[in-house]
Amino acid sequence: MHQNRLHWLKKEPINARGEYVLYWMNVDQRVQDNPALVWALEKANEKHLPLVVGFNLWEKYPEANLRHFAFMIEGLVETQHELESRGIRFVMIRAPMPQGILRLAQLARLVVCDRGYLPMQRAWRAELVREAPCPVAEIEGHVVVPVATAYPKEAYSAAVLRPALEKLMPIFLHDEDPLPPAAAPFYSRDFAELLEGFEPVVPGPELTDSLAVDRSVGLTAFRGGYTAAWNSFEEWRERHLAHYDTQRNDPNARAQSGMSPYLHFGQISARRLALAALERGGEGAAAFVEELVVRRELSMNFVWYNPAFDRYDALPEWCLKTLHQHRNDPREYVYSLAEWEEARTHDPAWNACQLEMVRTGKMHGYMRMYWGKKLLEWSPSPELAWSWALYLNNKYELDGRDPNGYAGVAWCFGKHDRPWTERGVYGTIRYMNYNGLKRKFDIEKYIDTYCGSTLF
Ligand SMILES: Cc1cc2nc3c(=O)[nH]c(=O)nc-3n(C[C@H](O)[C@H](O)[C@H](O)COP(=O)(O)OP(=O)(O)OC[C@H]3O[C@@H](n4cnc5c(N)ncnc54)[C@H](O)[C@@H]3O)c2cc1C
């Protein structure tokens, strides 16, 4: 593993009572190609200690609903099986975050965690550092190039970050170290006393059924887990990768990989996908790596360095200024949140986007741009449009609540972009319209696919 993936959050003191190395699995919920897991097991083997993998299941996880939990738990069923077949204990605790992990840390000699980029995830790690009676190491395996290695501050645009990533990719883009065999026997001690007051649970359909979470958002056809991700990727690679550069913006072509839900939950590694695409070569693979590495890691850069990333005022000065100058421009249509959410606009293309997201859990990437632009155009104010876009995105997208979602919404309001010709409502923010969709692909077909029947 490249040393820049390792961040020591706390080096001292050693916990002499420690009985195991604990890996707290949070954003990288996989066994395959997971450098944090590999490193944790290597450390456990060096110390002749067992490895325990802990997962804190928090039903009140902000903005998460049944759709998200069900997909995540499906993935964790496989993860548990994979770990236990390698002699590694997996403990899932139903507890407020990160209380379950703090308990497990009390008996750890060393705690290893993965790196999350959102402030909430960073705050949990800070709590762990305060409470753990042992060293804590964080391993950054969610991205190809560690965020601070790629760029030392917020990147203005992809044009700024791209050269840095292209230079570093040959160093960071190679096969992950394999998971070594576990040297110490399986840690079989009962955790009942240590976890008193919290409930150890087992991932599976019964757990999903028992969750006290928002159940108003239905399940999707996506199956969670590494195997589902990899099989679906391989099939897509055979049929569509070669045309990704020319067809990815056509929502009827199904030319996108569909990997974002899996990447969001860390069920598959971005490095694995990039390597597998590059193995095939060609323009399609190059365009795919641009999205998967440059665009995705620009989002991580955004949320890591910009503490206001989820607030309207995260936008650059020129965006705030131009939108402010045009805030009182007459709008052809003005919709309420309920009208947006229920896909009750005059625009069948917008309604189709919304219905695609609500029904399938994943809106096509090109349509997400149109969707966000129209929210800006037909909401009472840019601030409301911003908060409604994030609310809807995070509620219905299986890949929502992700740095990519915050950067994607911000892009619709000018972030990471440049000024364009001035017009009403948008000011100099880039504009999109229905005729543009019509010129690019068969928009009627897309509308027919998702507006063929009514949902509400
Ligand atoms: C308004 C708006 C909201 C968005 N919300 C989200 C979100 O909540 N979660 C999310 O993961 N993505 C979001 N995106 C980015 C992008 O649309 C999706 O990542 C992509 O459509 C996911 O589909 P895919 O995996 O089939 O993509 P593919 O085209 O197959 O791309 C492969 C991977 O590259 C990355 N990628 C592709 N396009 C982008 C992009 N524009 N920006 C950053 N990374 C990209 C993703 O990780 C994606 O899984 C949003 C974009 C916009 C404009």
- Residue 161's pLDDT band, with cuts at 50, 70 and 90, is very high
Q: For residue range 49-98, list pLDDT tens digits in order.
A: 999 999 999 999 999 999 999 999 999 999 999 999 999 999 999 999 99
Q: Which residue CA neighbors atom 34 of ligand 1 most closely?
A: 292
Give me 324's structure tokens: 């402010």
Position 233 pLDDT exceeds 90: yes
- Which residue is listed with tokens 């030392």? 152
What spacing in Å lies between the alpha carbon of 181 and ligand 1's midpoint? 35
| Rounded distance between C-alpha atoms, residue 62 and residue 60, angstroms | 6
Q: For residue range 378-423, list pLDDT tens digits in order.
A: 999 999 999 999 999 999 999 999 999 999 999 999 999 999 999 9
Give me 433's structure tokens: 């319209």
Cβ(79)–Cβ(25) under 8 Å? yes
> What pLDDT score does 254 carry?
83
| Rounded distance between C-alpha atoms, residue 324 and residue 250, angstroms | 33
Cβ(392)–Cβ(361) under 8 Å? no
Atom number in ligand 1 closest to CA 411: 53
Q: For residue range 307-342, list pLDDT tens digits in order.
A: 999 999 999 999 999 999 999 999 999 999 999 999
Report the residue among 142, 232, 260 best suited for mutation to probe ligand 1: largest number of ligand atoms under 8 A from its CB.
260
Point out the least confidently predicted range of 205-219, 245-259, 404-418, 439-453.
439-453
Give me 87's structure tokens: 């002699």
> What pLDDT score does 26 carry?
98
Q: What is the mean pLDDT of residues 39-55?
A: 97
What spacing in Å lies between the alpha carbon of 152 and ligand 1's midpoint? 24
Edge-first strand order for the sheet with 199-201 is 6-10, 136-139, 108-114, 20-24, 51-57, 89-94, 199-201
Position 356 pLDDT exceeds 90: yes
Position 456 pLDDT exceeds 50: no
Q: Nearest CA to 409 among 369, 437, 436?
A: 369
> What pLDDT score does 453 carry?
55
Q: Nearest CA to 294 among 119, 430, 416, 139?
A: 416
Position 455 pLDDT exceeds 80: no
Cβ(203)–Cβ(73) under 8 Å? yes
Does ligand 1 have an atom closer than 6 angstroms to the CB of 293? Answer: no
Q: How far is CA 123 from the centre of its chain?
A: 18
Per DSSP, the three-state class of 115 is: coil
> What pLDDT score does 175 carry?
75
Q: Nearest CA to 248 among 77, 388, 369?
A: 369
Residue-range domains of the chain with CATH = 1-142 (3.40.50.620), 144-176+225-305 (1.25.40.80), 312-451 (1.10.579.10)
- Residue 454's pLDDT band, with cuts at 50, 70 and 90, is very low
* Stated length of the chain: 456
**DSSP-assigned states of every residue in 120-145:** HHHHHHHHHHHH-SS-EEEE--SSSS
- Look at the alpha carbons of 146, 110, 179, 53 in this order and tell me if their dihedral is positive or negative: negative
- Residue 365's pLDDT band, with cuts at 50, 70 and 90, is very high
| Rounded distance between C-alpha atoms, residue 328 and residue 331, angstroms | 9
Average pLDDT in the chain: 96
Q: Nearest CA to 55 among 88, 7, 95, 14?
A: 95
Position 252 pLDDT exceeds 90: yes
Give me 356's structure tokens: 């695609």
Q: Which residue CA neighbors atom 22 of ligand 1 most closely?
A: 260
Position 349 pLDDT exceeds 90: yes
Atom number in ligand 1 closest to CA 401: 8
Atom number in ligand 1 closest to CA 409: 1
Does ligand 1 have an atom closer than 6 angstroms to the CB of 425? Answer: no
Buried b (16+ CB within 10 A) or exposed e, 235-258: ebbeebbbbbbebbbbbebebbbb
Report the residue among 267, 291, 367 best suited for mutation to probe ligand 1: largest number of ligand atoms under 8 A from its CB.
291
Cβ(432)–Cβ(331) under 8 Å? no
Position 439 pLDDT exceeds 70: yes
Q: For residue range 120-141, list pLDDT tens digits in order.
A: 999 999 999 999 999 999 999 9
If DSSP states are collapsed to H, E and C, what string results for 310-350?
CCHHHCCHHHHHHHHHCCCCCCCCCCCHHHHHCCCCCCHHH
